[in-house]
Amino acid sequence: MSGTFDGQAPPVEVRDLTVAYGEAPPILEKINFRIRAGEIFGILGGSGSGKSSVLRNVIGLVRPRAGRVFIFGQDLWADDGGHLNDCRRCFGVMYQAGALFGSMNLLENVSMPMREFTDMSAEAIETAARLKLSLVGLSGYEYYMPARISGGMQKRAAIARALALDPGLIFLDEPSAGLDPITSAGLDQLIKTLAKNLGLAFGVVTHELGSVMNIVDRAILLDKEIKGIVAEGDPRELARRSEPPYVAAFFNRQSLEKAKGEGPAEGGSKRRPGRIE
């Protein structure tokens, strides 16, 4: 597949990444993970655990305090970010609120990256844009402005735009946030189809358990208390664990107190990271 630098390197490799804003103490310290080709990878965690912040570091919007991020084997910040834009062209991002350009209709939104970065003819670009909109279930809405379609449709259009340059890797920030169960399930199905048929790797930021269990192949769970990854592995397997309490609580929708074994008073056992694999 084009847009990737070479077939061998994993789509994403994160080494000892420390996430922090400004001078504030870090939110996450020295985290490591890897997204493999063709897999749907979940970045999970409670609200405020730093999921979006990790994403912002991985896609090169924010420079990490420490550590390195490789996209298809390319160090994002080598040469002081000199070829950051080349790296950026080989992944697509769907932002939490869609972030479609409000002054363009959907067809133009999806065509824009192709117009900027490819040498395809105008007809081919239009065909490609229609094709992608249809792929995400938006045929018939090509000439609608983003403000005139619903939130779920905006997110699907944003996926179509993320697909514009046929990247091998797509990041999604909270794809199911604010969507009804049916729309959300439709979106999950779409992600699964794309991963299977196009061999795309997905990095999905979410705390929506239903969609995690449905589509995610492998996941990391972030915890703000230990400032790192508290568990890593197949979410269906993680859900069966009872230790550490935070993992059990997260996957079973329990309060933390309950997961620790009834009653908050029972000895304040410090959570320890646990891994599968």
Partner 1 sequence: MKDGEGFNLKLEKGRGGLTVHLSGPLTVDVRRAAWEDFPASDGQGQSLLVNLSGLSALDLNGSAQLLSAGAKSGQAGFKVEYGQAPQDLTAIFELAREALERAAAEPPAPVGFFEELGRKIKETQKDLVVLITFAGELMAELLRGFRRPSQIRWNSVLSVAEIAGVNAAPIVSLVSFLVGLIIAFQSAMALSQFGMTIYVADMVGIAVIRELGPLIAAIVLAGRSGSAFSAELGAMKAAEEVDAITTMGLSPVRELALPRVLASILTTPLITMIACFAGVFGGGLVLTAMDFSLLIYWQRAINFVSPATFYICVGKSFLFGLVVAAIGCQRGLAAGDGPGAVGQATTSGVVSNIVAIAVLDSLLAVLFYVWNI
Which residues of this chain interact with ligand ADP, rule CB under 6 A?
Answer: 21, 27, 45, 47-53
Q: Does 52 bind Mg ion (CB under 5 A)?
A: yes
Among 37, 97, 145, 226, binds partner 1 (CB under 8 A): 145
Q: Does 187 bind partner 1 (CB under 8 A)?
A: no
Q: How far is the CB of 65 from ligand ADP (least distance, A)?
A: 12
Partner from ligand ADP, partner 1, Mg ion, none binding residue 47, C-beta < 5-8 Å depending on class: ligand ADP
The answer to whether 38 touches 195, Cβ cutoff 8 Å, is: yes
Q: For ligand ADP, which is the closer residue by CB, 53 or 105?
A: 53
Taking the alpha carbons of 95, 100, 102, 103 in that order, is the dihedral positive or negative?
Answer: positive
Which helix (H) or strand (E) segment holds residue 85: the answer is: helix 84-88
Q: Does 59 bind partner 1 (CB under 8 A)?
A: no
CA 200 distance to own-chain centroid: 12
Q: What is the full DSSP assignment across 20-64? A: --TTSPPSEEEEEEEE-TT-EEEEEE-TTSSHHHHHHHHTTSS--
Among 8, 47, 121, 255, binds partner 1 (CB under 8 A): 121
Cα distances from 232 to residues 41, 97, 165, 195, 235, in angstroms, run 10, 27, 31, 21, 8
Q: For ligand ADP, which is the closer residue by CB, 50 or 60?
A: 50
Q: For ligand ADP, which is the closer residue by CB, 58 or 110?
A: 58
Q: How far is the CB of 188 from partner 1 (least distance, A)?
A: 17
